[in-house]
């Protein structure tokens, strides 16, 4: 079984981002739908290796779903914990998603297909409201984040090969800059020190590309 050779929770905390939380009234389905119809100036934040920031043509196209669940007590974000034996991002917390298949019509189709395959979440519960700018990972994926509202009740059935656990995190926790840590560490087989975001929640540690795309959602909603 493949195991992580790097423990991000042991990386040094360099700073807390610390910006104010997104206003509570913005974390509602009505406001979120409206936000994605607007063109407001905002600046995406890229934190992966500089070599990947120029969207190289050889990057592998992929898409993920950012599933915002409309719970009575407040919106949550549905995430997955990947199994430890996978070749890419093993043992990490991620959005459901994956590589674009030739038969996929567009990144939205990829995100919906992968979500259903990985989590069993039927697309009848999913309302896509928009996308965020493509994000380049240090492992060579060009990822389109697809933002969607998810309406309970729904049933889940994890793909046991890819997904060890499915869980939810309160959206207001993730959309608060006080919970966004800047960390740095030296990675195995990669020269120099790398900086990345971490968002610890209970016994979960959200970091890397997932945390970085959440930072972009955060900036987008605060614009």
The pLDDT value recorded for residue 86 is 53
Q: What is the pLDDT at residue 190?
A: 62
Helix (H, G, I), strand (E, B) or coil at 3: coil
Mean of pLDDT values over 3-11? 73
Q: Give the pLDDT score at 3.
A: 42
- Residue-wise pLDDT for 189-207, tens only, equals 666 678 889 999 999 999 9
Q: What is the pLDDT of residues 121-179, one digit of tens each?
A: 999 999 999 999 999 887 788 999 999 999 999 999 999 998 999 999 999 999 999 99
Separation of alpha carbons 158 and 209, rounded Å:
22
Domains and their CATH numbers in the chain:
26-169+207-222 (3.90.79.10)
Reported pTM: 0.91
| Cβ–Cβ under 8 Å, residues 36 and 147 | yes
């Amino acid at each position: 079984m493949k195991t992580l050779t790097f423990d991000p929770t042991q990386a040094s905390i360099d700073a807390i981002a610390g910006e104010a939380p997104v206003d509570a009234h913005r974390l509602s389905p009505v406001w979120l739908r409206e936000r994605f119809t607007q063109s407001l100036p905002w600046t995406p934040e890229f934190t992966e290796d500089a070599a990947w920031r120029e969207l190289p043509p050889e990057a592998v196209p992929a898409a993920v779903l950012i599933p915002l669940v409309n719970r009575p007590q407040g919106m949550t974000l549905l995430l997955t914990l990947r199994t430890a034996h996978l070749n890419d991002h093993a043992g990490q917390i991620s959005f459901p998603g994956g590589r674009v298949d030739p038969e996929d019509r567009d990144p939205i189709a990829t995100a919906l297909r992968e979500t259903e395959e990985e989590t069993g979440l039927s697309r009848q519960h999913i309302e896509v409201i928009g996308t965020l700018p493509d994000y380049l990972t240090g492992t060579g994926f060009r990822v389109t984040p697809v933002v969607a509202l998810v309406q309970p009740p729904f049933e889940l059935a994890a793909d046991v090969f890819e997904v060890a656990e499915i869980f939810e995190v309160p959206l207001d926790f993730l959309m608060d800059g006080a919970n966004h840590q800047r960390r740095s560490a030296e990675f195995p087989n990669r020269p120099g020190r790398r900086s990345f975001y971490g968002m610890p929640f209970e016994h979960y540690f959200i970091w890397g590309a997932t945390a970085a795309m959440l930072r972009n959602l955060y900036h987008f909603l605060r614009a």
